[in-house]
Amino acid sequence: MRKVLFIGLLMTALIACAAPAQNAGSGQSEIVVRDAWARPTMSMHGDGGGHGGGQVSAAYMVIENKGSAPDRLISAAGDVAGMIEVHQTTQKDGMMMMEEMKDGLEVPANGSVELKPAGYHIMLMDLKRDLKPGDAFKLTLKFQSGKTIDVNVTVREP
């Protein structure tokens, strides 16, 4: 099976090379996600404003784009949390802050982006269950190209 698939890919590549005029500027992204993991549940302390804190976690992974067009991670969904957002961590006056990336996170063509502690992450808020090391859950990543990718996320200590 493997060999047949490989030959198929090679032929696709040859065909693409043979017709460069038609394909110019209309490449496609090809997304692969690996090393997906999430922190165990963290408790956010109440801010005194009545929000009362909540149970949160963050998911990290490497998103690779083997295609010839850039793509963007625009959102993620799953039943593990009530609210899921794509975040970036920033430093402000020596404080670690984080904010939602409203335009999504770019995954360059023929490149990759790493979501990691103190960097980009998928924020899981209002957790629906307690996440302990060894647990796993599913996230569905949505990309600007319209692609969706299901990712199995394993919980472990950072």
- The DSSP element (H or E) to which 78 belongs, if any, is none
Instruction: Enter the DSSP assignment of 40.
Output: P
Q: Residue 124's beta-bridge partner residues? A: 57, 84
Selected range binding Cu ion among 4-12, 116-124, 133-141, 148-156, rule: CB under 5 A: 116-124
| Site size for Cu ion (CB under 5 A) | 3
- Window 83-112: residues binding Cu ion (CB under 5 A): 87, 98
Q: How far is the CB of 98 from Cu ion (least distance, A)?
A: 4
153 binds Cu ion (CB under 5 A): no
Q: How far is the CB of 89 from Cu ion (least distance, A)?
A: 7
CA distance 69 to 71: 7
Q: How far is the CB of 129 from Cu ion (least distance, A)?
A: 19
Residue 123 touching Cu ion (CB under 5 A): yes
Of residues 4 through 63, those in contact with Cu ion by CB under 5 A are none
Of 72, 65, 96, 67, residue with least CA distance to 86: 72
Question: How far apart are the C-alpha atoms of 8 and 1, rounded to whole Å?
Answer: 11
Least separation in angstroms between CB 83 and Cu ion: 11
- Give the number of other Cβ atoms within 10 Å of residue 81's Cβ: 26
Give the residues lining the site for Cu ion (CB under 5 A). Answer: 87, 98, 123
